[in-house]
Structure 1
Amino acid sequence: MATTTDTNNYKFNHSMIRVKDPKASIKFYEFLGMSVVKHLQFPNAKFDLYFLSYDGPTALSHGNSTFDRQGVIELTHNYGTEDDPHYTVNSGNAEPHRGFGHVCIAVDHIQAACKRLEDAGYRFQKKLTDGRMKHIAFALDPDGYWVEIISRRRGSKGAEDPEEQGVETDVGTYRMNHTMIRVKDAEKSLKFYQDVLGMKLFRTVEQSAAKFNLYFLGYPGSKGVPEDGFTADYEGLLELTWNYGTEKDENFKYHDGNSEPQGFGHICVSVDSLDAACSRFEALNVNWKKRLTDGRMKNVAFLLDPDGYWVEIVQNERFSGEENF
């Protein structure tokens, strides 16, 4: 195992969300082309973890070990929630518990992809034809989490694109493109994700009329940072949404997803050397939720970002040669 750490080796591995019924959730994400690549059972603690990723021959992380991937979704199921009629998750998009926003799937032909979802009976928060933005849609997973649908085609006009009509969609070409979280202070969050976690800024979208900015960050890997700002063909990006003025309100706070009502749990970064990475974080005076030495699980750590979102840190098996769990 490496005794030093290099942020160029880091990966935005997964985003964790809690689910009520794993069978229903897995069916939905498998319908979008994902596969369960790891299933961990903790019967004594009464919960299971399901890691889903794109695993087909055209997938960017095809064949990689679980923590050597990007664009993974981790579903956490606490036993018995599927039989509790009162159990619901917090999607992160309803006041006063907003924070986490959505995950995003990039597809080959967006009209066909959305029609396929609709024909299967899945609900939408925003259909492709709704509103002004005709190039994106938001499907709803079984728990009501928002799943943004975007096109991998450059210049796609979405609902108003004649080239999309009558074309079939291939789920084997989809990407788990990004995870969106809302942040109070863009400057502080950008500094944390770049200087502490080593991410690079891929793209900035300024919507001054609507008074918000979007920042897309990720690990460039072999593809590098896109020179033209086109990010729809990537996987494992982090989108920060900043609404102007929130940084000036000392009482303003986003919901981290882990205090009640729960929903989103954390994002996770895999590293080349867990010990060396955590030593580096310690030297950078980060805020910890859990150090490596805390608790029973000595193979994971959790940082806190400026908004209190949890950032899990795990060992990438490619550098250690052994499974984490």
Structure 2
Amino acid sequence: MASTDPTKYKLNHSMIRVKDPKRSVQFYEFLGLKLINKLENPDAKFDLYFLAYDSPRAVSHGNHWTDREGIVELTHNYGTENDPDYKIANGNQEPARGFGHLAISVDNIQAACRRLEDAGYKFQKRLTDGKMRSIAFVLDPDGYWVEIIPQKPLEETENIKETDPATYRLNHTMIRVKDAQASLKFYQETMGMKLLRTSEMKEGGFNLYFLGYGPDAPATSAKGVSPIADREGLLELTWNYGTEKDPNFKYHDGNAQPQGFGHICLSVDDLDAACARFEEQKVNWKKRLTDGRMKNIAFVLDPDGYWIEILQNENLKTRANW
């Protein structure tokens, strides 16, 4: 049987549903991402838009879309843009709390935030709001939160007025988890990720865990800057203390009504071998490779019921003509 090496996996993309693809693509392009692929499904009445950083200075410049990290996939179901009652659940409001945000790291956070504000985009949290002065949250056209984090200490950039979106990174995707230990075990042992960084926020009653593939993270970083701010394709797990003790507590997976966030996606070195390994690990499946018409993707469920798409990295082995 073919083997699979989890160190070659990539957290390829995060999917969110959007009401109006024109507005959403325009927003993410304003943040410097480029449309690198579009999959049209007129028979099923939906289209998929894949955006990523692709300048010559981008981490995965020029790579096949399955051989990247840090992609956002926008799913548009036909007709929603003309439906006044259609509304996306952004994952941060009851009863649909679960998914939290996407995060983009930028060269100059003050200038990046000014540029967004000047363009008329709304903020959930400006740099000057609250205690945390080194992060901001801008709202995309559907109200999803996009965290803006710095690649350099704030004092180095406060007097510089320029920002270059070509240097930005789609750094991480945040989801809330009920039981931190169960989720950490799953993502490390089953999905092969490394725990790169832990932030304990005891006063706030929560911890943040950052996982990903690739090299280990530096132990220290510059003031106010994450040591993994220059990376793409990371997963942030947010655990609020005590949720694991409540048998009735459950996060919303984004795919039950009201819908919003859809899934994260891992691209793997050998899709059949990876799925055989997941079977050995006794994962909960949403869709096996052999289920349904689409034989080139599978979906695994994490401990909270979030969907994880499994996809072949076409640069390592050709399988599908995407």
Q: Is the 8 A contact 2:171 2:231 kept in 1?
A: yes
- Following superposition, the deviation at residue 209 of structure 1 comes to 1.1
The within-5 A match list for 1:1-325 is: 3-153=2-152, 156-157=153-154, 161=155, 163-220=157-214, 223-228=215-220, 230-325=227-322
> Is the 2:10–2:213 Cα contact (8 Å) retained in structure 1?
yes
Per-residue CA shift, 1:220-251, capped at 9, x if unaligned?
1xx44334361111110000000000000000
Pair 322,304 (structure 1): closer, same or farther in 2 beyond 3 Å: closer
Q: Quick one: distance in 1 between partners of 2:111 and 2:266?
A: 33
Question: 2-side partners of 1:105 and 1:39: how far apart?
Answer: 22
Residues 315 and 324 of structure 1 are in contact (CA less than 8 Å); yes or no, is this contact kept in structure 2? Answer: no
Aligned length: 317
Secondary structure, aligned partner of 2:55:
coil
Tell me the CA shift for residue 95 of structure 1.
Answer: 1.3
The 1-side partners of 2:118 and 2:234 are apart by 29
The one-letter amino acid of 1:171's match is: P
Contact 2:208–2:236 (8 Å) recurs in 1: yes
1:14-60 C-alpha deviation (Å, 9 max, x unpaired): 00000000000000000000001000000000000000000000000
SS of 1:317 mapped into structure 2: coil
Contact 1:299/1:324 (8 A) holds in 2: no
Question: 2:315 and 2:97 mapped to 1: Cα distance?
Answer: 36
| Structure-2 separation of matches of 1:233 and 1:83 | 39
In 1: Cα distance, 2:36 partner to 2:266 partner = 17
* Matches of 1:48 and 1:193, distance apart in 2: 29
Secondary structure in structure 1 of the residue aligned to 2:50: strand
Secondary structure, in 3 states, of the residue corresponding to 2:60? coil
Question: Does the 8 A contact of 1:125 with 1:146 survive in 2?
Answer: yes
Letter of the 1:270 counterpart: S
Amino acid aligned to 1:184: K
- 1:71-103 per-position Cα deviation (integer Å, ceiling 9, x unaligned): 000000000000001111000000121000000
How far 1:163 moved relative to its partner? 3.7
| Equivalent position amino acid for 2:159 in 1 | Q
Q: CA deviation at 1:322?
A: 4.9
Change (3 A) 1:228 1:323: farther
User: Superposition RMSD on alpha carbons, in Å?
Assistant: 1.2
Compute the displacement of 1:4 (Å). 1.3
Structure 1 residue matching 2:76: 3-state secondary structure: strand
Q: Report the residue type matching 1:89 in the other structure.
A: I
Greater mean deviation of Cα atoms: 36-45 or 163-172:
163-172
Conserved? CA contact 1:11–1:70, under 8 Å:
yes
- Give the distance between the partners of 1:110 and 1:323, measured in 2 at CA: 39
Write the letter of the residue equivalent to 2:261: F
| Aligned mates of 1:60, 1:224 — CA distance in 2 | 17
Equivalent AA in structure 1 for residue 202 of structure 2: S
| C-alpha contact 2:66 2:314 (8 A) present in aligned 1 | yes
TM-score (normalizing by structure 2): 0.96
Q: What is the one-letter code of the residue matched to 2:33? A: M
Give the aligned residue type for 1:225.
Answer: A
Secondary structure of the residue that 2:316 maps to in structure 1?
A: helix
Structure 1 unpaired stretches of 5+: none
TM-score, normalised by the number of residues in structure 1: 0.95
- Per-residue CA distance 1:254-298 (angstroms, 9 max, x = gap): 000000000000000000000000000000000000000000000
Gaps of 5+ in 2: 222-226
Moved over 2 A (4+): 223-229, 321-325
C-alpha contact (below 8 Å) 2:67/2:315 kept by paired residues:
yes
Deviations 1:91-150 (A, max 9, x none): 000012100000000000000000000000000000111111110000000000000000
In structure 1, the partner of 2:224 is: none
Cα distance in structure 2, aligned partners of 1:141 and 1:8: 33
Q: Secondary structure at the match of 2:116?
A: helix
In the TM superposition, what whole-angstrom CA distance separates every residue of 1:191-232 from its partner, at most 9, and x where no partner exists?
A: 000000000000000011111000000001xx4433436111
User: In 1, Cα distance between the equivalents of 2:293 and 2:219?
Assistant: 44
Aligned 8 A contact 2:99 2:176 in 1: yes
